[in-house]
Amino acid sequence: MEDVDVVVAGAGHNSLITACYLAKAGYRCLVLEANAIPGGGAVTEELLGPGYAVDSCATGHTLMCTNPLLADDELGLMAAGSLTYVDPDPVAHVAFPDGGHFTMTLDRNETAAEFGRFSAADARAYERLLDDYAEVAPVFARAQHTPAGMGPPLDQLLAEHPRGRVWQRRRMLSAWDVVRTEFESREARAFLMWMAFQTNQALDIPGTGLLASSIVAGRQRRSWSVLQGGSGRLVDALVGYLEAHGGEVRCGQPVRRLLVEGGRCAGVETESGEQYRARRAVVSTIHVVHLMDMAPPGTWPEELEYAVRTYDVGIPGFGIYLLTDVAPAFQTPAGPVSAVSAGTVGWPEDLLQLGFDLRHGRYVEDVPWLLVATPTLVDPDRAPPGHHTVKVLSQQVYDLPGGPEGWPAAKEAQARRQLEHLRRSAPGFTDDHVLAMLVKAPPDFEASNRHMVHGAFHGGDRGVAQSGPGRPAPGWAGHRMPLAGLYQTGATTNPGGSITGVPGRNAARVVLTDLGIDPDAVLRPVHAGDGTVPHGVTGLTTAGAVGETARAAGGAA
Ligand SMILES: Cc1cc2nc3c(=O)[nH]c(=O)nc-3n(C[C@H](O)[C@H](O)[C@H](O)COP(=O)(O)OP(=O)(O)OC[C@H]3O[C@@H](n4cnc5c(N)ncnc54)[C@H](O)[C@@H]3O)c2cc1C
């Protein structure tokens, strides 16, 4: 397939989404992926043996479900029947350092009562947090689903909202500022900080204030949505759509250089020296830190180079993958509790210290924050009967005192310490229940996905400097790059990482606009009998920029 309209570098879920919308509009797309399989952070692999489907990276798709791509079924993937989401209940279970715990359920009143175990004022504060956020969620969702420069900026939308000025301040605060202002008990604060830390973002950084509300509000609405069969089913559905619409994904094709001809990005060259030209556009999900070296000197303007030189790639992650014959069961006075999304947390001051240490590169031996994901509790077919796949995630540094080279020798012991930490609250989850184990330190995550620079999962820090119009760089947040014909998507673009599909869909809107296609004619629900939208056809019935579900849900994680 050499006769190509659009070349896409990288096959993460975001860039696949961009490619699918372009294919829906009738363009022939060739996606070049460095790895042996497509999907990036959305892959599901038999990491630990045949018959065990393990999400190597993401498991929870809460925000993906609110993207109009799925919520309004704009590609017909839901109607095709291969995507079934389960919303686990309990939503989350978290153990505190003193043996106490917090269980969140899908019943809002029940969750408020759980806050009430620690403070009646905190139970009211929780209800208020959800109600307050529900008021402005449509504003945040509208801003998120609108590429920079194609609609009013978030600040303006908030200024026009009756209560928006509170949120103009709140989003500039840190998550910790918000939590400590609204909640008084250390348990409520610790639980909310456990939630907010899920994007590996230090919680005292200005600009993280929204994380204190958006994640928990999203979970209260629809839990930590898990795709039956694993995240890879989403990748399969996107690749299937692309292929059915004349596109192709070619794996084992790392892109090393952009082809620049006549001041335009004309295509890409892979590490094996093959060149692929695109008639219309090149879409990249290459990390911006790498992209800078892929064009001739002088290509990038000073402000982009400066933004990338100062780009904070984010806090790296550490993962333990287990096959077990029991699910982790957390001790409580009322008996053991298991949850698809569970974990441990320190007290607020522990988490603030953790974020500080990691941001400053200090290795932490015993990370108090653990996320323990056991999707087989609601999706047992991922493993043989009676068995579970368990993923224990924490944060870490990329450089050990002697450099990243020390990780192969150190990671097993680190994993043992984190499992011991978990066993303080889940004592029955002992080694004799572990059938197989794999440990990934930050350099391992980087090696398995070059988009996860330094093993950071979310494409870069999300503080003030790298959010909204500043992501990846001021002036270049609208997916168009300074090189004509080149578009950037993925986690280094707004609103950042996680499985949201938002950067991918927004990039499609921008590319389509530049190609002279009305994006609303393409980014709309597929109805029976809908075919491909031919090039140049405009004025078809539109569904607006944001589907109803997304309008109602919003979110930032
Ligand atoms: C262990 C772990 C757990 C996580 N859990 C969750 C979770 O539960 N929920 C959630 O929402 N998020 C989670 N995340 C984060 C999430 O996986 C990422 O933020 C998300 O995958 C980013 O998607 P993307 O499409 O932007 O890029 P990616 O998924 O990173 O895909 C980028 C792709 O581009 C390819 N690529 C990069 N450079 C090149 C090149 N030069 N040439 C060719 N190909 C290239 C890569 O190989 C990769 O396939 C987790 C991440 C990890 C690692």
Domain residue extents for the chain: 6-49+58-83+229-311+453-553
Is the predicted pLDDT of residue 193 greater than 90, yes or no? yes
Is the predicted pLDDT of residue 529 greater than 90, yes or no? no
Q: 6-49+58-83+229-311+453-553 sits in which CATH class?
A: alpha beta
Ligand 1: nearest atom to the Cα of 497: 19
Ligand 1: nearest atom to the Cα of 458: 19
pTM: 0.95
- Give the gyration radius of the chain's Cα atoms: 23
Which residue is listed with tokens 């958006």?
214
The sign of the CA dihedral 291, 297, 303, 309 is positive
The mean pLDDT of 203-209, rounded to a whole number, is 96
Q: In what order do the strands lie in the sheet with 255-261?
A: 255-261, 264-270, 275-277
- What's the pLDDT score for residue 525? 95
Is the predicted pLDDT of residue 220 greater than 80, yes or no? yes
Give whole-number Cα distances, 338 to 330, 389, 439, in Å.
6, 13, 22
- Does ligand 1 have an atom closer than 6 angstroms to the CB of 324? no
- What's the pLDDT score for residue 530? 55
- What's the pLDDT score for residue 230? 98
Helix (H, G, I), strand (E, B) or coil at 213: helix
User: Half-sphere exposure of residue 322, counting CA atoms within 13 Å on the CB side?
Assistant: 27
Compute the distance between CA of residue 293 and CA of residue 147 in angstroms, rounded to an integer: 26
Gap from CA of 369 to ligand 1 centroid (Å): 22
Helix (H, G, I), strand (E, B) or coil at 35: coil
- What's the pLDDT score for residue 3? 77
Helix (H, G, I), strand (E, B) or coil at 452: coil
Ligand 1: nearest atom to the Cα of 445: 53
Query: Which residue has the CA at smallest separation from atom 1 of ligand 1?
Result: 57
- Does ligand 1 have an atom closer than 6 angstroms to the CB of 255? yes
Query: Which residue has the CA at smallest separation from atom 26 of ligand 1?
Result: 490
Is the predicted pLDDT of residue 534 greater than 80, yes or no? no
Is the predicted pLDDT of residue 333 greater than 70, yes or no? yes
Sequence-ordered list of residues with C-beta below 8 angstroms from that of 380, at least 6 positions apart, any chain: none
Say if residues 445 and 497 touch (Cβ distance below 8 Å). no
- Does ligand 1 have an atom closer than 6 angstroms to the CB of 507? no
Structure confidence by residue, pLDDT tens digits, 6-24: 999 999 999 999 999 999 9
The mean pLDDT of 112-128, rounded to a whole number, is 98
Is the predicted pLDDT of residue 89 greater than 60, yes or no? yes
- What's the pLDDT score for residue 267? 98
Compute the distance between CA of residue 488 and CA of residue 15 in angstroms, rounded to an integer: 9
- Does ligand 1 have an atom closer than 6 angstroms to the CB of 257? no
- Does ligand 1 have an atom closer than 6 angstroms to the CB of 498? yes
Say if residues 493 and 507 touch (Cβ distance below 8 Å). yes
Say if residues 62 and 545 touch (Cβ distance below 8 Å). no
Structure confidence by residue, pLDDT tens digits, 169-189: 999 999 999 999 999 999 999
- Does ligand 1 have an atom closer than 6 angstroms to the CB of 235? no
Token couple for 284: 């990249």
Is the predicted pLDDT of residue 550 greater than 60, yes or no? no
Confidence of residue 545 (pLDDT cuts 50, 70, 90): very low
- What's the pLDDT score for residue 383? 98
Confidence of residue 1 (pLDDT cuts 50, 70, 90): low
Percent of the chain predicted with pLDDT > 70 = 94
How many helices (H) and strands (E) in the chain? 18, 19
Ligand 1: nearest atom to the Cα of 59: 8
How many other C-beta atoms are found inside a 10 Å radius of the C-beta of residue 434?
Answer: 16
* pLDDT, mean over the chain: 94
Is the predicted pLDDT of residue 537 greater than 60, yes or no? no
Give pairs for 83-86: CB < 8 Å, separation 24+: 83/227, 83/233, 83/234, 83/237, 84/227, 84/228, 85/61, 85/225, 85/226, 85/227, 85/228, 86/225, 86/226, 86/227, 86/228, 86/378, 86/379
